Amino acid sequence: MGFADSRLAGGRSPQNRDGGSSSDRGGESTAAPIPVKLVVAGGFGVGKTTLVGAVSEIPPLTTEEEMTVASEGVDDLTGVERKETTTVALDFGRITISEEIVLYLFGAPGQNRFWPLWNDLALGAVGAVVLVDTRKLEEAFASVDFFERRGIPFVVAVNIFDDAYHYEPEEVREALVIPSEVPIVICDARDRELAKNALITLVRHAIDRAPADVG
């Protein structure tokens, strides 16, 4: 499963020589948390940096740079006309879900010219949140296709924008031709709990998709 320990797929805790679990000694767990790599993806200006910053328990690492005249005519600013910075490499954050699982978040840049970075960011990822803006829903097709082609589990998170029409999840599913098994959630990237719910939904979906442990 790459970045994540096989225990995420339902494996048993490491065994001691006496046959007992490492968590049995003294009634306290001594196992290190499972690191789980997740990618936050989507088109330009959909709120990826905002989501990572909202949920991260550490100051998020960002690679945002000021937008210049060089981006004029290249980046579509529809709906984000006041956007002054853009991610040029990645965003990084961390959130502890439980004593057993720690999520490491990698936000992908949205512009087409940075897409070669997506292959590196997706390497070892357990899954991805595809963040979409219903005002420019057509931009989500490329992100969905990227993870479908690579067999990486993903969920679609519909980001709430104040001036956007509210669509039901099933309407978004139909518009993007999303398979029925892929979760679609409503998410305000500014809201920690809603953003966290999208991540938890992804982890559960990834576990459901994981092969049964045969070890």
Taking 80 as the threshold, does the pLDDT of residue 19 lie above it?
A: no
Instruction: Please tell me the predicted confidence (pLDDT) of residue 28.
Output: 57
Scanning the structure block, which residue is given the tokens 């003294």? 26
pLDDT in tens, 127-162: 999 999 999 999 999 999 999 999 999 999 999 999
pTM, full prediction: 0.75
Nearest Cα to Cα of residue 158 among 42, 16, 22: 42
When pLDDT is cut at 50, 70 and 90, the band that residue 111 belongs to is confident
Which range (34-43, 66-75, 204-213) has the least confidence? Answer: 66-75
CA separation for the pair 133, 44 (Å, rounded):
10
The residue ranges of every structural domain in the chain are 34-209
When pLDDT is cut at 50, 70 and 90, the band that residue 4 belongs to is low
Taking 50 as the threshold, does the pLDDT of residue 30 lie above it?
A: yes
CA separation for the pair 45, 80 (Å, rounded):
6
The token duo for 95 is 């959130």
CA separation for the pair 115, 185 (Å, rounded):
25
**Which DSSP helix (H) or strand (E) runs through 81?**
none
The superfamily (CATH) of domain 34-209 is P-loop containing nucleotide triphosphate hydrolases (3.40.50.300)
Pairing status of strand 64-66 against strand 127-132: unpaired
Instruction: Please tell me the predicted confidence (pLDDT) of residue 89.
Output: 56
Average pLDDT, the chain: 81
**Which DSSP helix (H) or strand (E) runs through 66?**
strand 64-66
Scanning the structure block, which residue is given the tokens 């001594």? 30
Helical axes 48-55 vs 192-209, angle rounded to 10°: 100
Classify residue 124 by its DSSP letter: T
